[in-house]
């Protein structure tokens, strides 16, 4: 995760598990959302719940299962900034509580589009957001 400038820990909750005892595939998207929210809060300086962005793209490639006895970290990076969109790349990694071994559980990509809440049309990203992201990502 060294090339990712933002990493957050997420907690595996009992309700995240399916009948096989591993994290259900839907929860991976929630983990991404949690990390994305942290990125906007901490890097961009905008509370996630105030954003007028929509997800235009969500792609998850599952590599390994996540179980309750593992700690989970989600890393986020922004490879470029669009006029009205923010593409993000993610890695979800687990650490085994006994062996301390780290495993790649999934890679993912999202594209968020900034919108006008009244019309739903895409609108340019605020300059302050673009600057904060570019500075953080060294773009």
Listed by start position, the domains of the chain span 6-137
Cα–Cα separations (whole angstroms), residue 123 to 18, 62, 131? 39, 32, 17
Spatial distance between the Cα atoms of 71 and 117, rounded to a whole number of angstroms: 37
% helix, strand, coil for the chain, step of 5: 25, 40, 35
Per-residue pLDDT, averaged over 62-74, amounts to: 95
Helix (H, G, I), strand (E, B) or coil at 76: strand
**pLDDT average, residue stretch 82-103:** 94
**What is the percentage of the chain residues whose pLDDT exceeds 70?**
99
Binned at pLDDT 50, 70 and 90, residue 1 comes out as low
Q: φ and ψ at 2, to 5 degrees? A: -65, -30
CATH architecture of 6-137: Roll (3.10)
H/E stretch holding 39: helix 25-39
Most confident by average pLDDT, 1-10, 65-74, 107-116: 107-116
């Amino acid at each position: 995760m060294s090339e990712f400038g933002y990493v957050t820990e997420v907690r595996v909750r009992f309700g995240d598990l399916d009948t096989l005892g591993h994290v259900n595939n839907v929860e991976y998207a929630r983990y991404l959302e949690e990390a994305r929210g942290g990125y906007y809060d901490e890097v961009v300086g905008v509370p996630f719940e105030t954003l007028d962005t929509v997800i235009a793209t969500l792609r998850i490639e599952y590599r390994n299962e996540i179980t309750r006895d593992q700690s989970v970290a989600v890393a986020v990076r922004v490879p470029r900034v669009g006029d009205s969109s923010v593409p993000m790349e993610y890695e979800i990694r687990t650490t085994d509580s006994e062996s301390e071994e780290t495993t790649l559980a999934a890679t993912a990509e999202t594209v968020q589009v900034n919108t006008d809440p009244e019309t739903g049309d895409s609108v340019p990203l605020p300059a302050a957001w673009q600057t904060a992201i570019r500075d953080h990502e060294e773009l």
